[in-house]
Amino acid sequence: MQSTLKANKSVKATDTEVQNNIRLATRIFDEYGDAIREMIRFLVNNESIVDDIFQDLFVSLVHKPIPPGIENIRGYLYRAVKNDVLDEAIRTKNYRIRNQKYAELHTEQVRYRNPEDVVILSEEIQKLFNIVERRLMPHEREAVIQLYRFDRDNNEAAEAMCINRRSFSRYLCTGLKKICRFARENEQDPTDLSCIL
């Protein structure tokens, strides 16, 4: 019975906290809303995403209000807007890259309509992953597999490996260099291998 009462009190405290955060965010947006829109317009070239970023900022201020003691609220908001704009730009870039990869894969499939060509390509890809499995250190192998087999971008792959993006990039670069070196030593064209990847 007491644990139920404690749980209800913590839920009520959380609800009250969220309501307070909403009030604080609303007050900030009432006072600085026009300035926030101008900051967003200054940082982006695409008018169609201004409202999205504006709303995202409101939600982020509800989840993480401006800390007490911040004297330059306008400067704090500018940094928050800048971070939201950068996040949106990264999401847009990743979306375009994925669409481009899809288009390339689709045109690649059209080129290989002949079932024999599809089987040959599949065998070449399998050989390449066998090289990856045998020749690379575990962290290099995992980086290559995350990026190319699971089709993840660098951030997603780094997160899946529980490492930072910089370490992921280093492992990937080292792994790809080893694959290219192995291809050269075995008189294969390394550019063909990277095309397969």
User: For 28-63, how does the pLDDT look when each residue is reduced to its tens digit (9 = 90+)?
Assistant: 899 999 999 888 888 887 787 788 888 888 888 888
Domains of the chain as residue ranges with CATH: 2-94 (1.10.1740.10), 114-196 (1.10.10.10)
Quote the tokens at residue 77. 């908001």
C-alpha span between 31 and 2 (Å, rounded): 43
Quote the tokens at residue 104. 């390339």
- How much is the pTM? 0.42
User: For 142-167, how does the pLDDT look when each residue is reduced to its tens digit (9 = 90+)?
Assistant: 998 888 888 888 888 888 899 998 89
C-alpha span between 73 and 56 (Å, rounded): 18
Report the amino acid identity of residue 123. Answer: E
User: For 59-118, how does the pLDDT look when each residue is reduced to its tens digit (9 = 90+)?
Assistant: 888 888 888 888 898 888 888 888 877 777 777 777 788 878 777 776 655 555 677 776
